[in-house]
Amino acid sequence: MNARFLDWIWHIKGSLPIAPGQSSDEVFDRLSPLFQEINTTHDRTGDTLTFNKWDQAAQDKMSVFDGGTLTIESGVGAGVLRYHMTSKALLYCFLAPLLFLAIAAATIGIGKLEKSPDEAGKAKKEEKKEMEVRMNPIDKFLGAPAPEKKDDKAKKAKEKEEEKEKGPDPTPAYAFAGIFAAVYLVGRILEDRLIRSLFRKTLTAL
């Protein structure tokens, strides 16, 4: 599969119109404070600015991004600021659910391996035997309901405990997969909007 079809996972691209008559130098001068943070380097070449970040500080407004390119495209009237940035944080959030789903699958597989066929057959026979209740033949002929065992509740409680002990439970892995999937979806949409809003406010600030 072409890598371009997967770029959307951790790449954020967009464009923003700039004020009419605003030059590339003016645009990058306004955006410059965003690239003056700790562990951030940037380079300007003509109408293009390239930046890289590592060990981003929490107060960095662009801390979720690890690098990218901003380009000014001139046109009739107002120009356009185009940006293309990457985020390892988004990539990790995307991969986390897949990891937990793999853990869940492995957990189920281990549970099946731990329970041999003989054990499974034995458990079914014991369960059937416990469900059988001896009745008087006359009562049975007349259709009387089977009497309840006094220790039914105790046996049911015991069965629940045995079910828990049968093998590892994949439920937590599914839960974490769902949590990280939700975090990724929210983050992917939110970061796209936040960075566009940040650039717009920075360029229009007085």
Residue 11: name the closest of 67, 57, 73 by CA: 67
CATH architecture of the domain with residue range 3-92+188-204: 2-Layer Sandwich (3.30)
Per-residue model confidence (pLDDT) at position 181: 93
86 to each of 110, 149, 159, 180, how far by Cα in Å? 38, 66, 52, 19
Per-residue model confidence (pLDDT) at position 124: 58
Per-residue model confidence (pLDDT) at position 113: 77
- Give, for all 206 residues of the chain, the pLDDT tens digit: 556 668 889 999 999 999 888 888 999 999 999 999 999 999 999 899 999 999 999 899 999 999 999 999 987 667 899 999 999 999 999 999 999 999 988 888 887 776 655 555 565 565 555 544 455 566 555 666 655 555 555 666 666 666 655 667 888 889 999 999 999 999 999 999 999 999 999 998 76
Q: What is the DSSP letter of 75?
A: -
For the CA atoms of 159, 162, 168, 173, the dihedral, rounded to the nearest 10 degrees, stands at 30
What residues pair up with 43 in beta bridges, in sequence order?
Answer: 50
Provide the residue ranges of all domains of the chain, joining segments of one domain with +: 3-92+188-204, 122-166
